[in-house]
Amino acid sequence: MTTQRKGIVLAGGNGTRLYPVTRIISKHLLPIYDKPMIFYSLSVLLLAGIRDILIITTPRDLPLFKQLLGDGSELGISLSYAEQAEARGIADAFVIARPFLGGSPSALILGDNLFFGNGLVSCLQYADAQAQGATVFAYSVRNPEQFAVVETGPDGSVLSIEEKPASPKSRWAVTGLYFYDEDVVDIAASVKPSARGELEITDVNAAYLAQGKLRVQYLGRGFAWLDTGTHDSLNDAASFIATLEQRQGLKVGCLEEIAWRRDWIDTTQLLFLAARYAGTEYETYLKNLVAAPTPMSDPVIPARYAARRR
């Protein structure tokens, strides 16, 4: 089902938990192994088939994001930019994005979230196919009291969602990836600031729950969800990506590869993009996609893979 869904990457905030590293640069531009952090969150939207994306960041950092990513045309996508002058909560992203969305359904991902797992594309496609309501992604964690927690019944229906409960009703934490219908803009605008002065995304999700329109997509065993907002978690994420890529010889969060596999760019354009990384392992990887194509266990476009590479 094609919903013409638009994407949002929320890459704002001051990153104070990463001081002094983030005193002069957005945390979303810091490296996770061999790529900037934002590549990983942006790649999730591309894997979902979303090509029209708004990046929300601070006035200080916006020029750097534009310098890194441009308007997206080189990848066959469209990137727009908007400012969030101060941290006003995740739900504020929809208030900012109202002109960009223009009544379209949307998918929001936090710029410091990393997702990985065989079957991720199928999960994203399921969420994208839901024309009405909201879909959140949940992940089992050891310390649910530190997250928004979702509780579901035996039939999979959502019973409750709570922000950092003292007595969690489940171990399923709501991750930083959300799919919404077109009503989310009005719902977010109606949310009242919390005690910490922010528009909480949990309040948006609770509004959908009250309407009986909140779904949960569980990311079970075999999936990885990493929040890279601290020094330790940033280091863990880098080690995780390094281990995967060195072991498999396949890159995670490679925007050029996703665009090429989806036929948003052709082989000539892929090689043009590879040339900008001349003399690096990244260039070699992109060139080898053409010279020695490797099937993916969770292919983006499985039907046309073999035909194109004969």
Q: What is the pLDDT of residue 296?
A: 58
Thinking of the domain 6-232, which architecture would CATH place it in?
A: Alpha-Beta Complex (3.90)
Q: What is the pLDDT of residue 20?
A: 84
Please say whether the beta carbons of 10 and 90 come within 8 A.
yes
Neighbouring-strand partners of residue 162? 149
Rounded Cα distance between 308 and 134, Å, is 36
Please say whether the beta carbons of 147 and 174 come within 8 A.
yes
Spell out the domain ranges in the chain. Answer: 6-232, 264-308
Q: Could you state, in chain order, the average pLDDT of each consecutive group of 10 residues for the chain (310 residues)?
A: 82 81 87 95 97 96 96 98 92 97 97 94 94 96 94 89 93 97 97 90 96 94 88 91 94 97 96 96 95 61 37
Rounded Cα distance between 164 and 143, Å, is 10
Q: What is the pLDDT of residue 309?
A: 35
Q: Which among 184, 6, 185 has a CA at the least distance from the CA of 79?
A: 6
Please say whether the beta carbons of 13 and 112 come within 8 A.
no
Q: What is the pLDDT of residue 301?
A: 46
What stretch of H or E contains 11? Answer: strand 6-11
Record the pTM.
0.92
Under DSSP, is residue 266 helix (H, G, I), strand (E, B) or coil?
Answer: coil
Eight-state DSSP code of residue 144: G
Give Rg (Cα) of the chain.
19
